[in-house]
Amino acid sequence: MKTEPALMSLTSVARAIADKQVSSREVTQSCLDRIARWQPHLNAFMAIEAEDALKAADAADAALAKGARRGVLHGVPLAHKDMYYEAGKVVTCGSRIRRDFVATTTSTALQRLKDAGTIRLGSLQMAEFAYGPTGHNVHYGPVHNPFALDRITGGSSSGSGSAVAARLTFAALGSDTGGSVRMPAHFCGVTGLKTTMGRISRAGAMPLSQSLDTVGPLARTAEDCAVLLRLMAGADPADSTAISGPIPDYAAATTESIRGLAIGVPNAFYVDDLDEEVASALDATIAVLRREGANVVKVELPDQRQLSAASQLVLAVEAAAFHKRWMIERAQDYGPQVLMRLQNGLAIPGVSYLEALRWRGQALAAHVAAVANVDAVIAPVSPAPAPTIAESDVGNSPDAEAVIQRLTRLTRPINYLGLPALSIPCGFTRGGLPVGMQLIGRSFDEATLLRVGAAFQRATDFHERLPKLP
């Protein structure tokens, strides 16, 4: 095979392994070679398990030679955000507190990917306890953006965004509580799917906010996300919030035309105060969708600032509640910014927290009514491309919370509504920084988002651009 295997998409490499055009060992070694070259520049991996990965690859090749294909991703090496429990493995959650924590169970999402035949390359860096949108981590160092090493990756799934963009792994699990899949996807130029609340089990995934946490993949294409979602979705006895019911054939949806679909463009909030190059990318994306046959119309959404505020109230309280014991016993082991944000939850009265949860159904109903005539809404992920690591290193300074809220203002409302959203690469700035857009859908209608994303990616090549080593 002439192509460097690590540069293939998830679906392409899985087919190539199944057809014995390339071995799992060759694919795994290709990823490990890239990791060896890129890791010193990116700091994307928390742990690299080269020897075990090659052993697993050899076992996968031997099984395939005997006709035993474990699943659709047989022999495909992956790495995931270091918050998905795998029995017997250290899972740091990006923290000092869990530096030596060894999981005794395996998360449902991870187990389902393993059951499909994936093998483990190691684990990926993340913001401490998934509570940070930039990619900084005071314990393990910042993760760097492959397209500009002095720039942030976004977070909290910082290693996932960086590693997928640099082609160190074919895909990676992230988690999205306030934008943590979509932000790294936007800043690093990859495809990221924030799933509907309830679509994928969260059992065995580190919690941050039980009302807002969602599991989702970052990958190179919408088609790859579709394959991963199909494998992970569905009910789970270990998580009562994971819904039952039929799971669509998401991959089939990605082959469909978008002719006749209606795409809504918000007339405010999401289009206010945008960086000029993000605004241009939005216009260009809309033009492509029109050329592909979509009807693009304006939509007037309810007040998104209220949704964002409700999201903040819920997140602050739930995060503080999860962390209360450690806030008392091990406050000195938190990074200053994470401790600062956890302390915010102490200031929210119980009545305010419950009001924010009680309003959620009404707010979703109002949103549903506002988008009744469209199949999806398109909006920027963040108002600007990636800032530098230095300028966004605000720690626990007095204006830190304001900086964080500005960065995530376009993603938080979607978590409050529990809706799915797909971030797709849709351009590059003159300085070479990726720009992404989020497609926001109806509850449990990831299929339409993946369909639109795939159609866009057939018409453009932004998702295929490779970062270069310095």
Partner 1 sequence: MTRPTAKEIKAMADVAGVPVDNDVAARIANSVGPAFDAFAAIAGTLPFDLEPSTFVVVQTEKAAR
Report the residue number, 207 or 436, with the smaller CB distance to partner 1: 207
Q: What share of the chain is helix, strand, coil (3-state, %, to 5)?
A: 40, 15, 45
CB of 178 to partner 1, least distance (A): 12
Residue count (the chain): 470
Report the residue number, 21 or 397, with the smaller CB distance to partner 1: 397
CB of 436 to partner 1, least distance (A): 24
Q: Are 212 and 315 spatial neighbours (Cβ–Cβ below 8 Å)?
A: yes
Instruction: Please identify which of the residues 30, 81, 162, 201 carries the catalytic annotation.
Output: 81
Nearest to 129 by CA among 69, 180, 191: 180
Report the residue number, 46 or 450, with the smaller CB distance to partner 1: 450
Nearest to 403 by CA among 379, 384, 424: 384
Report the residue number, 43 or 308, with the smaller CB distance to partner 1: 308
Instruction: Please identify which of the residues 156, 157, 201, 209 carries the catalytic annotation.
Output: 156
Q: Which tokens sit at 404?
A: 């964080």
C-alpha 366/C-alpha 358 separation (Å) is 14
C-alpha 79/C-alpha 119 separation (Å) is 8
Q: Are 145 and 390 spatial neighbours (Cβ–Cβ below 8 Å)?
A: no
C-alpha 18/C-alpha 15 separation (Å) is 5
Binding site for partner 1 (CB under 8 A): 196-198, 243, 305-306, 308-310, 312-313, 316, 320, 324, 327-328, 340-341, 343-344, 346-349, 352, 354-362, 364-365, 368, 396, 398, 400-402, 405, 418-419, 442-445
Q: Is 156 labeled as catalytic in the residue annotation?
A: yes
CB of 446 to partner 1, least distance (A): 11
Report the residue number, 141 or 336, with the smaller CB distance to partner 1: 336
> Is 61 in a helix, a strand, or coil?
helix
- Would you tell me how many other CB atoms lie within 10 Å of the CB of residue 208? 22
* Count of H-run helices and E-run strands, the chain: 16, 11
C-alpha 145/C-alpha 189 separation (Å) is 10
**In a 10 Å sphere around its CB, with 0-12 CB exposed, 13-18 middle and 19+ buried, how is residue 430 labelled?**
exposed
CB of 287 to partner 1, least distance (A): 26
Q: Are 422 and 450 spatial neighbours (Cβ–Cβ below 8 Å)?
A: yes
C-alpha 300/C-alpha 254 separation (Å) is 28
Q: Who's near 10: CB < 8 A, 6+ residues apart?
A: 73, 76, 170, 171, 219, 220, 221, 224, 227, 228
Instruction: Please identify which of the residues 158, 180, 382, 392 carries the catalytic annotation.
Output: 180
C-alpha 24/C-alpha 21 separation (Å) is 10
Q: Who's near 252: CB < 8 A, 6+ residues apart?
A: none
Q: Report residue 170: phi and psi, to 5°.
A: -75, -25
> Is 260 in a helix, a strand, or coil?
coil
Q: Which tokens sit at 154?
A: 């976004």
Report the residue number, 190 or 339, with the smaller CB distance to partner 1: 339
CB of 51 to partner 1, least distance (A): 43
The DSSP secondary-structure symbol of 208 reads S
Report the residue number, 295 or 405, with the smaller CB distance to partner 1: 405
Report the residue number, 126 or 320, with the smaller CB distance to partner 1: 320
CB of 320 to partner 1, least distance (A): 8
Report the residue number, 293 or 336, with the smaller CB distance to partner 1: 336
Q: Is the dihedral of CA 381, 416, 161, 193 positive or negative?
A: negative
Strands 262-266 and 376-380: parallel
The DSSP secondary-structure symbol of 69 reads -
For the annotated catalytic residues, the residue numbers are 81, 156, 180
